[in-house]
Structure 1
Amino acid sequence: MSLKQNKSEPIKTPEEPPQNAENAAENAEENGEEKKKEQEELPPFEVVEGSRIPASSFMFQFKNVEYSSGRNKTLLCYTVERGEGQIFRGYLEDEHVSAHAEDAFFTNVLPQYVSSNPVAVTCYVSSSPCINCAACIARCLRRYKTLKLQLVVARLFQWEESEIRGALRGITSAGCKLRMMKTADYLHVWQQFVEPDIILDDEGIAEQPSEQGAFIPWEDLDENAKYYEERLAEIIR
């Protein structure tokens, strides 16, 4: 699943006779206005729900390393529990080309689940939010008084920058419970949101795995989680 920027393809039209400079300028202006209007009407991203994360993507993007070189996506897994006893799950993914996963979830996905009854939301995210996404989360918490939010993150994004640190304090003061992922959280996400990678046989035909493989923690998972816990405690104390 991914958030993809919508693109409109040019429409081919039959060739027209040559125009004079004045008419050409008028047509160009009209076409420009039409294209601008069309772009404004198109949504900035597409949200697709229902699929699980490929195991290899989860293991790479959610790895709680200190330096996240090459990890240029944000993956967000969410669980929404409504007062009526209903539970909804899904995940979003972005490539940092349009909307971020957090912005998409809190702006477009969550509002459809909010009601006058209590709503408990837990988001497992591959990294903590940027400044803009943190502001979006804080606005959402102020707007929806029945919302209880827990944000569980694998890594801290640019945590040494003062603006980021202030943004994280902002969402916690707005009511968000923010903490780092531990081994138990990785096991939970693996069971609820991850699917085995597709394996091809010698003839290029996909083999259907009989069961999902077990989650195997990397060697320094607990050590890295403790490191990030200490950094987060310093930020939000």
Structure 2
Amino acid sequence: MAELGNILEKATFLNQFENKRYAPIRETYLCFEANVDLAKPVWYSNQQGVHAETRFLENLTTLDDGRSYTVTCYLSWSPCADCSEALVEFVRDNRNVNLRIFVSRLYYIDEERNREGLRLLNDAGVHLEVMNYEHFEYCWETFVDHKQSPFPSWDDIVENYAYFQEELTNILQENSLCARDGVCVLIVRTSMVRRGYSDMQHFLPPMCTS
């Protein structure tokens, strides 16, 4: 199992970050950069049952409250429910940190807890997006020991990005419910239904009907 380091091997990056739709679950790799010298490795992976996101957060606990930071992460898999909750707690406790997350693939999104975790991240103000061709190429040039070789890409990289991005968009819109000016807007995946407030009360959670 990989430890951590300052640069990834070419084979490791291609094996872990390739955005296949039906890729087997291997490890989560997290590459990151920030507008501060953390004097730490720039990537993490799972180690002895500890998720890459947890190890990443442990590295960020020393950020100075007197400064503002932008931290950008590139993950081979989107965070699981528990890691999403930990990331949300971190950004809520560190308002001076602007966290941006780009993911190659979506982790077990058939499980509602993982879907809800992604919505929690989005609601907490974390920029959440699927990696496109330019992101993969940037990671290749920034985090990989590529030995001056160009990013090799792979079949269906653009099509798979579009597929995962649509899935993520649907998840973030799913079951979003609000009431304003007597009108409720119910968003279910990509469809939106506008109905009168009184007609929708039996759909609303208690906080919306009070």
Q: TM-score, normalised by structure 2?
A: 0.77
Q: Give 1:94 shift.
A: 1.4
* Partner residue, 1:77: 31
* Partner residue, 1:90: 42
* Partner residue, 1:111: 61
Q: Is the 8 A contact 1:121 1:149 kept in 2?
A: yes
* Partner residue, 1:62: 17
Q: Is the 8 A contact 1:74 1:100 kept in 2?
A: yes
Structure 1: which 4+ aligned runs deviate by more than 4 Å?
86-89
Count of residue pairs the alignment pairs up: 172
Output the CA distance in 2 between the equivalents of 1:224 and 1:68. Answer: 11
Q: Is the 8 A contact 1:120 1:149 kept in 2?
A: yes
The residue correspondences of 1:34-53 to structure 2 (distance < 5 A) are: 48-49=4-5, 51-53=6-8
* Partner residue, 1:123: 73
Q: Give 1:116 shift.
A: 1.8
Question: Quick check: which has more Rg, 1 or 2?
Answer: 1
Secondary structure at the counterpart of residue 68 of structure 1:
coil
Residue type matched to 1:53 in 2? L
Change (3 A) 1:147 1:57: same
Change (3 A) 1:58 1:168: same
Q: Is the 8 A contact 1:114 1:147 kept in 2?
A: no
Q: Give 1:104 shift.
A: 1.0
Residue type matched to 1:225 in 2? Y
- 1:34-81 Cα deviation digits (max 9, x unpaired): xxxxxxxxxxxxxx44x2111001001001111121x41111000011
Q: TM-score, normalised by structure 1?
A: 0.68
Q: Give 1:2 shift.
A: 3.4
Output the CA distance in 1 between the equivalents of 2:82 and 2:106. Answer: 15
Output the CA distance in 1 between the equivalents of 2:135 and 2:38. Answer: 18
Output the CA distance in 1 between the equivalents of 2:62 and 2:142. Answer: 22
Output the CA distance in 1 between the equivalents of 2:71 and 2:125. Answer: 12
* Partner residue, 2:205: none
Output the CA distance in 2 between the equivalents of 1:229 and 1:185. Answer: 13
* 1:232 pairs with 2:182: no
Change (3 A) 1:87 1:127: same
Output the CA distance in 2 between the equivalents of 1:182 and 1:114. Answer: 32
Output the CA distance in 1 between the equivalents of 2:19 and 2:109. Answer: 14
* Partner residue, 1:136: 86
Percent of paired sites with the same residue: 28
* Partner residue, 1:99: 50
Secondary structure at the counterpart of residue 87 of structure 2:
helix
Secondary structure at the counterpart of residue 32 of structure 2:
strand
Aligned mate of 2:149, from 213, 216, 219:
213
* Partner residue, 2:124: 174
What's the C-alpha RMSD, in Å, of the aligned pairs? 1.8
Output the CA distance in 2 between the equivalents of 1:110 and 1:68. Answer: 30
Aligned mate of 1:147, from 61, 75, 97:
97
Change (3 A) 1:114 1:127: farther
Q: Give 1:233 shift.
A: 0.4
Residue type matched to 2:13 in 1? F
- 1:99-122 Cα deviation digits (max 9, x unpaired): 10001111x111223432111000
Q: Which runs of 5+ in 1 are unaligned?
A: 4-47, 197-210
Secondary structure at the counterpart of residue 195 of structure 1:
coil
Q: Is the 8 A contact 1:75 1:125 kept in 2?
A: yes
